[in-house]
Amino acid sequence: MPKLNCFASLFTLVGLFLGFSADGSERPNIFWITSEDNNVNWVGCYGNPHAQTPYIDKLASEGFQYMNCFANAPVCAPSRSGWITGVHPVSLGTLPMRSRYSIPHDQVKYYPDYLRKVGYYCSNVRKTDYNIGGRSDDDCWDSTKLEWKKLKQGQPFFQVINVASSHESRAFGGVDNTTHSPEDIQLAKYHPDIPTIRKNYAHYHDAVKRMDAEVGKFLKQLQQHALSENTIVIYNSDHGGVLPRSKRHLFNSGTHCPLIIRIPEKYRACWPAESPGSRIDRLVSFIDMPKTWLSLAGAEVPEVMQGKIFLGKDCEAERPYHVSYRERMDERFDNQRAIRNKRYLYIRNYMPFVPLGQRLNYLWKMEATREWENWHVAGKTNEVTGRWFRPKPSEELYDTWEDPDNVINLIDNSKYMEIANELRQELSRWQKEKRDLGLLPECERAKRAEDLGGTLCELAKNPEAYDLDAYLEASDLALQRDARHLTELRQFLQSEDSGIRYWGVVGLLLLDAKSAEVKKELGKALRDKSHAVQAMAAYGLHNRGETDLARKTLLDLLHQESHATLLVLNIIAWLKEDSAYFHQAIKGTKNQQLKPYVQKMKENLSFYAKN
């Protein structure tokens, strides 16, 4: 018997290398094409008559077009962090843009590790951007080149192709002389109808057309190498975008993504419908993809992965909800969570005191962004087109079928109270289940994990060090902006936990600016041991006319090279005053935490000083 087991094991290993699964069936090749930054509105087969995407449209006619696919994060690095691990960035601590916090790599591996283990040749051309420290992004791949000879060698392959022609940067530069007509666009309701914005739409349509041609080129090469009949082809974007108020945002425009999967006849057992060309209504979340790809390949699906398999023989029950999240985007702070079903989208704003449209160095390279801001400053925007530049409500609710641009907030409409309560409760349940790390400011949780000598992921799992239930309760109360909760907010400031004290300060600064009692409590918080609490208290006091006291606190934190330096710089920008008072301290800071974004924020403040 031992010899038979040995031979059986050897046979299995040889079979895996030659491309057969444990049950003897042939394993499919998988060819995954991702484009950058384009939501469904830029792709013809999703309903925009002005979009010129013939190759993607043809792929949809040959495959299965998913109509309800959504990104969990509306920007590349956290989105790809979830892709490579199959674990939500809010659970790992990898949500802030390009933060590169480490994770426990012995517990959370990358999906290509499991594919290679069962004999797949895995190649990625060429974007990684996994937002994770402690392991090289290229370490999990056999190659970072497209090598057709190796793909044809008989070993099953998993090939990723990233097409950058639709990246946000392709919407930069001059917007005149476009091939696409500025008249042939679907203008979002939140954008003012002005020539520069129309031209920028046309400019990006040109970019998407080039992206589509690249997708067509790779599909043709696959066919020329006689691999199409053995290969599952996947096409989708890595999140939404790309005109301002799309990428980086939790609305449809930032998260609703094209997903098309072509499955050869020999693998028809995996078809999600009777025939190719079908539109699939199933709700799919990006976090579902790694598990699904592993399942299609017959590889091990680790328990740590948090998605649902949505295709193939191991298909799981459809998810009822999709959750997405937004936190620091490059140098600017914000914090939101969203949950949706196929129709309704609920958004919780944890920093409602700041607008979505905070000046971001990179986004402001786009002509449409600058012109939109100029239009708003000139007083020409209306209630809808000017909203991006104003502070937010604590909660938002949208009927995405009737209002695809998400401009009609239904949260206070009694007709929608039941769905609002359902989504509100489901979001809180999900946050507890996934151990959402975003209920502490980034600087605070990073310091706490460092003090404990572990990763952020390990911090999240430690209820004594990270009391998520208490933070959720405190934040819910703070965001209600109800003066009747003043006593409880004051009690929050007495807590031993800096996270509770933080939410106490947030709750106070959201209350009536004329309250002397609120001002008194914020003044006490200036002496808090937490630098994040100090900084937010200073912001609240500045809004109540205590300018000198607030300035001094923020200046002291800069001189200390505080771990909260990037937050302090953001607050100085929120103050909307001449930043000359802080000029020398800002110029002199050498803070090493998130250094590239500290530098970007310094450049940002330099802009404010000049204008």
Give 289-320 pLDDT, tens digit per residue.
999 999 999 999 999 999 999 999 999 999 99
If you average pLDDT over residues 99-120, what whole number do you get?
97
Residue 609 is predicted with a pLDDT of: 60
Percentage of the chain modeled with pLDDT above 70: 95
Among 126-140, 367-381, 424-438, 502-516, the minimum mean pLDDT is found in 502-516
Residue 608 is predicted with a pLDDT of: 59
> What CATH number does the domain located at 32-316 have?
3.40.720.10
Q: Looking at the predicted structure, is the pLDDT value of residue 392 above 70?
A: yes
Scan for tokens 């517990």, then name that residue: 107
Scan for tokens 């000046």, then name that residue: 359
Residue 128 is predicted with a pLDDT of: 97
CA distance to 67, 130, 423, 509, per residue, from 83 (Å)? 20, 8, 25, 37
**Cβ contacts of residue 566 below 8 Å, gap of 6+?**
328, 331, 333, 443, 591, 593, 594, 597, 598, 601
- Whether residue 337 contacts residue 327, with contact meaning beta carbons closer than 8 Å, is answered with no
CA distance to 98, 110, 136, 416, per residue, from 139 (Å)? 18, 10, 5, 49
If you average pLDDT over residues 45-70, what whole number do you get?
98
More confident call, 515 vs 441: 441
CA distance to 71, 87, 322, per residue, from 287 (Å)? 8, 7, 10
- Whether residue 331 contacts residue 317, with contact meaning beta carbons closer than 8 Å, is answered with no
* Exposure string for 422-457, b = 16+ CB within 10 A, e = fewer: bbbebbbebbeebbbbbbbbbbbbbbbbeeeebbbb
> What CATH number does the domain located at 436-610 have?
1.25.10.10
Whether this model's pTM surpasses 0.75 = yes
Residue 85 amino acid letter: T
Enumerate the domain spans of the chain. Answer: 32-316, 436-610
**Cβ contacts of residue 66 below 8 Å, gap of 6+?**
259, 260, 261, 279, 280, 282, 284
Return the half-sphere exposure (C-beta side, CA atoms, 13 A cut-off) of residue 95.
31
Q: How confident is the model at residue 25 (pLDDT cuts 50, 70, 90)?
A: low
DSSP for residue 392: -
Phi, psi of 235 (to 5 degrees): -130, 130
**Cβ contacts of residue 352 below 8 Å, gap of 6+?**
391, 392, 393, 394, 479, 510
Q: Looking at the predicted structure, is the pLDDT value of residue 15 above 50?
A: no
For residue range 448-472, list pLDDT tens digits in order: 999 999 999 999 999 999 999 999 9
DSSP for residue 143: B
- Count CB atoms within 10 A of the CB of residue 566: 25
CA atoms of 48 and 51, how far apart (whole Å): 6
Q: How confident is the model at residue 593 (pLDDT cuts 50, 70, 90)?
A: confident
Integer Rg of the chain from CA: 25
Percentage of the chain modeled with pLDDT above 90: 91
